[in-house]
Amino acid sequence: MKLKKKNPEVSIIMNCFNGEKYLEKSISSVINQTYKNWELIFWNNKSSDASEKIFKSFKDSRLKYFESNNFQKLYKARNNAIKKSRGRFITFIDTDDWWLKRKIEKQLGILKKNKSYSFIYSNWFVFDQNKKTKKIFNHSKLPSGKISQNLLNKYEINIGTVMIKKKVLQKFRFNENYEIIGDFDLFIKLSLKYMFLSIQEPLSFYRLHNENLSKKYNLHARELDNWIKKNYSILKKKKLSISSQILYLFKLKVKNLIGYK
């Protein structure tokens, strides 16, 4: 009798659009994880560079390649990649970032011990590609529990640090109309329904480089303005304040007006 192939416990989502420059290091950081029962869902979003070649140079059956028929906005691509996943837990890594070796092991271990939680995130390092320096992103304590107001006051979650139970992402999806604030929008929604766990230790690296330093203040302002209009009444009923987001929107509009760089 043929044995049924065991599903991976963790699915890692990697969306790629022309990510060749740092891709090898990013994939290597996944392969080098101390925890081994995972799959990497690589969603090639019509890249025109060597991303596909680099990905397929890794000979590992846990690496799963998918390619979109046409270019998709980031959050549509993420939703489609999630649909291909088989794991009970979902994580995300971008092509220019990388993980510490025990990232999955530590987060999965904590979630399994705290079964009432569905979402965990951690601190991270910011690596400046130009200066070749790194620093811890947050020196203050990351909040746990019901943290909606904390996130509205000061949003400090990097998608590369999270792990979420897949059943949550089968109920909630990224808003595909957004191009910048999709993570923020989804995680605020999840924080209203679920308690979050945090790990103070940095478990990933966010690479700061010339490409992601380009600021789309106008688009960011339009999206945040739309989000505030859609969510103001809902959050007010829950006695949550979005004054910090309103102030942030004002700053974005000023930066766009004066051409701030």
Chain segment 168-187, per-residue pLDDT in tens = 999 999 999 999 999 999 99
207 and 236 together in one domain? no
Q: Please provide the average confidence, as pLDDT, over all residues in the chain.
A: 94
Structural domain count of the chain: 2
Return the sign of the alpha-carbon dihedral for residues 213, 205, 60, 111: negative
Residue 256: its pLDDT value, please?
A: 82
103 and 117 together in one domain? yes
Residue 32: inside a domain, yes or no?
yes
40 and 115 together in one domain? yes
* Share above pLDDT 70 across residues of the chain, in percent, rounded to a whole number: 96
140 and 223 together in one domain? no
> pLDDT band at 259, cuts 50/70/90?
low
Question: Quick check: helix, strand or coil at residue 20?
Answer: helix
104 and 42 together in one domain? yes
174 and 150 together in one domain? yes
**Angle, vertex CA 119, rays to CA 100 and CA 160, nearest 5:** 35
204 and 220 together in one domain? no
> pTM, whole model, 2 decimals?
0.94
Cα–Cα distance for residue pair 239/236, rounded to 1 Å = 5
Residue 45: inside a domain, yes or no?
yes
170 and 124 together in one domain? yes
Give the orientation angle of helix 182-193 with respect to helix 74-83, to 10 degrees: 50
Residue 255: its pLDDT value, please?
A: 85
Residue 3: its pLDDT value, please?
A: 44
85 and 97 together in one domain? yes
- Nearest Cα residue to 12 out of 64, 47, 50: 64
Residue 261, pLDDT > 80, answer no
> pLDDT band at 189, cuts 50/70/90?
very high
How is residue 233 written in tokens? 């009444």
Residue 75: inside a domain, yes or no?
yes
Domain boundaries, position 140: 10-212
80 and 62 together in one domain? yes
Residue 258: its pLDDT value, please?
A: 74
Which amino acid is located at 105 in the chain?
E
| Overall average pLDDT of the 89-110 stretch | 98
Domain's final residue, options 187, 212, 237: 212
| Overall average pLDDT of the 70-89 stretch | 97
Chain segment 145-173, per-residue pLDDT in tens = 999 999 999 999 999 999 999 999 999 99
Residue 1: inside a domain, yes or no?
no
Cα–Cα distance for residue pair 86/38, rounded to 1 Å = 9
Residue 22: its pLDDT value, please?
A: 97
Residue 181: inside a domain, yes or no?
yes
207 and 242 together in one domain? no
Residue 4: inside a domain, yes or no?
no
Residue 15: inside a domain, yes or no?
yes
- Nearest Cα residue to 241 out of 133, 154, 139: 154
Residue 88, pLDDT > 90, answer yes
How is residue 24 written in tokens? 């090898």
Are 19 and 48 in contact by the 8 Å Cβ rule? The answer is no
Chain segment 15-60, per-residue pLDDT in tens = 999 999 999 999 999 999 999 999 999 999 999 999 999 999 999 9
Query: Can you give the CATH number for the domain in which 68 is found?
Result: 3.90.550.10
- Nearest Cα residue to 245 out of 174, 200, 195, 181: 181
Chain segment 199-232, per-residue pLDDT in tens = 999 999 999 988 775 578 899 999 999 999 999 9
Cα–Cα distance for residue pair 130/109, rounded to 1 Å = 35
Residue 98: inside a domain, yes or no?
yes
> pLDDT band at 1, cuts 50/70/90?
very low
How is residue 220 written in tokens? 């960011």
Domain's final residue, options 212, 227, 252: 212
15 and 103 together in one domain? yes
